[in-house]
A and B are shown apart, each in its own frame.
Chain A
Amino acid sequence: MRDLVLIALFTVAVLLLPLFVTSGFLLNLVVMTLYLALLGQAWNILGGFGGQFSFGHAVFFGTGAYAMAVLQVKLGLNAWAALPAALALGAAVGLLVGALSFRYGLKGSYFALVTLAFAEVFRILANTFQFTGAGVGIQIPLRDSAADMQFSGRAGFLYTILALCVAGQLVAVWLRHSRYGAWLQAVRDNEESAAALGVDVFRVKLVAIAISGALMSAGGAFYLQYFRYVDPHIAYGPAISVEALLAAIVGGMGTVFGPLLGAAALHAVGEGTRGLMENAPGVNLVAYGVLLVLIVMFLPRGIMGLFGRKN
């Protein structure tokens, strides 16, 4: 209940934001924070609640981005119609990766490596086929109309990413208060015990990776609409996988608001260092690294660890 109230307050605050803030820089910062929070939440569903640490969430992100691009540019679909298809494809890729790796009991670092390998395979495939624009990538034409999920101002994008981000939060709240969520966390903490108590471990993991894949591909879809361009490296490169897991780990794994706090912290640190050292591009990544080390050493449960046991 308290979680839902917090989400409602947060939603209203972001909805009202464009009335008070006109700075494009600030609005962009909020958009990018919410976008990173969505990626972090996607990773958190599988990694934080399910204990399956993926190192290749780009495989879902890229699938979402490419699905949007291909459906619009090559098949002439409207962006709003393409979005559900992108989510479904993300979930389908999740089921594929999950069925193959969970069937054979891959866990821990083995699972992480397999997801990384999947992302790399998809990157090479996207780099190969003309269908996905090969190495050149795909650019979607500028339309500047809400009917095509492109907006002339930042507010439209802000509301779109807010809706997706809140959807991710609601999934996390559902996990905290449902039988399925209890099963998923039981599987995370001890698979054998869970199975002994009647939990279908394989199926529970499959559902988690499908939901996670759908949310991550929503992030990819949004990325495409916002930047109107995707190439194999952006879509399936390791950077996006790392960003997603950083947001969740820094904020607090297995919590509802961890990914949002993590995303905010990463952007604050990133922009801070960029502001301090303007002549050193990429220095924000160093700051991310330092932040991660500090969090792992002093706050193993992430920023949420500061607010009591569970939130």
Chain B
Amino acid sequence: MLQVDRLSLRFGGLRAVNDVSLAVEGGRISALIGPNGAGKSTLFALLSGFLRPDSGSVRFLGRDITGLAPHRVCRLGMTRTFQIVQPFSAQTVRENIAVGAHLHERDRRRALERAEAVAGRVGLAPQLDKLAASLTIAGRKRLELARALATEPKLLLLDEVLAGLNPQEIGEMIPVIRSLSETGVTVFMIEHVMQAVMNLAEWVWVISQGELIAQGSPAQVTDDPRVIEAYLGHGTAARLRQAATSGAGDG
């Protein structure tokens, strides 16, 4: 569905994304993980047209979309959410979601109706007439998801929709995301909450300092020494293994 080929972007001397290639398959949930500052959100910005790569290409549904403007990428069927939620604060939840629904629906009333249906899917129905500014962080994350969903995307890029939620809220959101995939939307998510990644993703890419360092099933990548070192520092994987074996010997 989405092919990324040798994508690179530098900010001055910093290689934010360095020679990244990956292919997101349709119909399933994939995840992109990595330590803070690894370049995950930058990669999403490159895919969705908010940033232009220095080199490399992005193909979506067989079409080259490298450097295409964000609204055009969205019209082709790829919608992203933002890590830092960006609601239309002065408008109600219903109006917020309707902006997404308007992508394929000219009529105002039908767009508002569609917004209502989408709100139901993500559990925002009771808040439809509240101002977006009055929502809690969990509510705003749901709104971010609902707006994107209202554009009826084929591929949904979710940038940390679970960050900042408490365990109960995370527990409520996981089935929502799974249900998206069940209705035929392909999901590619950046996520720090490993519980969600282990639970949802069929395939995981790990990025560190702009480079792809591992990929595989969630179990495979969390066991990968390079991934452990990327998160916890050089040499940690070996020390952990040592501690585990000596700990077993003591017991």
**What are the interface flags for A182-203 relative to B under an 8 Å C-beta threshold, 1 for contact and 0 otherwise?**
1101101110111111111100
B82 interfacial contact with A, CB 8 Å:
yes
Residues of B within 8 A of A195 (CB): 50, 69-71, 74
Q: What CA separation (Å) do A307 and B81 show in the bound complex? A: 35
Q: B89: which of A177, A189, A199, A201 is its contact (CB, 8 Å)?
A: A189
A196, B82: Cβ atoms under 8 Å? yes
The residue in chain A whose Cβ has the minimal distance to the Cβ of B100 is A197
Q: A192: which of B75, B86, B102, B106 is its contact (CB, 8 Å)?
A: B86
The residue in chain B whose Cβ has the minimal distance to the Cβ of A179 is B102
**What are the interface flags for B85-99 relative to A under an 8 Å C-beta threshold, 1 for contact and 0 otherwise?**
011111100010011
Residues of A within 8 A of B75 (CB): 198
Q: What CA separation (Å) do A118 and B111 show in the bound complex? A: 38
**What are the interface flags for B108-147 relative to A under an 8 Å C-beta threshold, 1 for contact and 0 otherwise?**
1001000000000000000000010000000000000001
Given A185-B91, A196-B80, A199-B99: A179 in contact with B111 (beta carbons within 8 A): yes
**Minimal beta-carbon separation of B177 from chain A (angstroms):** 18
Q: What CA separation (Å) do A109 and B86 show in the bound complex? A: 22
B79 interfacial contact with A, CB 8 Å:
yes
Given A182-B98, A189-B88, A189-B91: A197 in contact with B147 (beta carbons within 8 A): yes
A196, B87: Cβ atoms under 8 Å? no
Interface size for chain A: under 10, 10 to 19, 20 to 34, or 35 or more residues?
20 to 34
**Minimal beta-carbon separation of A241 from chain B (angstroms):** 24
Residues of A within 8 A of B151 (CB): 197-198
Q: B108: which of A182, A185, A254, A309 is its contact (CB, 8 Å)?
A: A182
A186, B99: Cβ atoms under 8 Å? yes
**Minimal beta-carbon separation of B163 from chain A (angstroms):** 17
**Minimal beta-carbon separation of B70 from chain A (angstroms):** 4
Residues of B within 8 A of A197 (CB): 74, 79, 99-100, 103, 147-148, 150-151
Residues of B within 8 A of A190 (CB): 86-89
Q: What CA separation (Å) do A194 and B79 show in the bound complex? A: 11
A279 interfacial contact with B, CB 8 Å:
no
The residue in chain A whose Cβ has the minimal distance to the Cβ of B103 is A198
Query: How many residues from B make CB contacts under 8 Å with A?
Result: 33
Residues of B within 8 A of A177 (CB): 108
**Minimal beta-carbon separation of A99 from chain B (angstroms):** 16
Residues of A within 8 A of B150 (CB): 197
Q: What CA separation (Å) do A183 and B91 show in the bound complex? A: 12
B48 interfacial contact with A, CB 8 Å:
yes
The residue in chain B whose Cβ has the minimal distance to the Cβ of A181 is B108
B106, A199: Cβ atoms under 8 Å? no
The residue in chain B whose Cβ has the minimal distance to the Cβ of A301 is B90
The residue in chain B whose Cβ has the minimal distance to the Cβ of A203 is B71
**Minimal beta-carbon separation of B130 from chain A (angstroms):** 11
Residues of B within 8 A of A152 (CB): none
Q: What CA separation (Å) do A193 and B147 show in the bound complex? A: 9
Given A177-B108, A200-B71: A183 in contact with B148 (beta carbons within 8 A): no
Residues of A within 8 A of B95 (CB): 182, 185
A23 interfacial contact with B, CB 8 Å:
no
Given A182-B98, A182-B111: A196 in contact with B89 (beta carbons within 8 A): no
B82, A179: Cβ atoms under 8 Å? no
Apart from A183-B102, A196-B48, A197-B74, list 20 A-B contacts with CB within 8 A: A179-B105, A179-B111, A185-B95, A186-B88, A189-B89, A189-B90, A189-B91, A190-B89, A192-B86, A193-B88, A193-B147, A194-B88, A195-B74, A196-B80, A196-B82, A196-B148, A197-B99, A197-B100, A201-B71, A254-B90
CB-defined A-B contacts under 8 Å, sample of 8: A185-B90, A186-B99, A190-B86, A193-B147, A195-B74, A196-B74, A198-B71, A198-B79
B residues lining the A interface (CB < 8 Å)? 48, 50, 69-71, 74-75, 79-82, 86-91, 95, 98-100, 102-103, 105-108, 111, 131, 147-148, 150-151
Closest 6 CB pairs of A and B: A189-B88, A198-B74, A195-B70, A198-B103, A193-B86, A186-B99
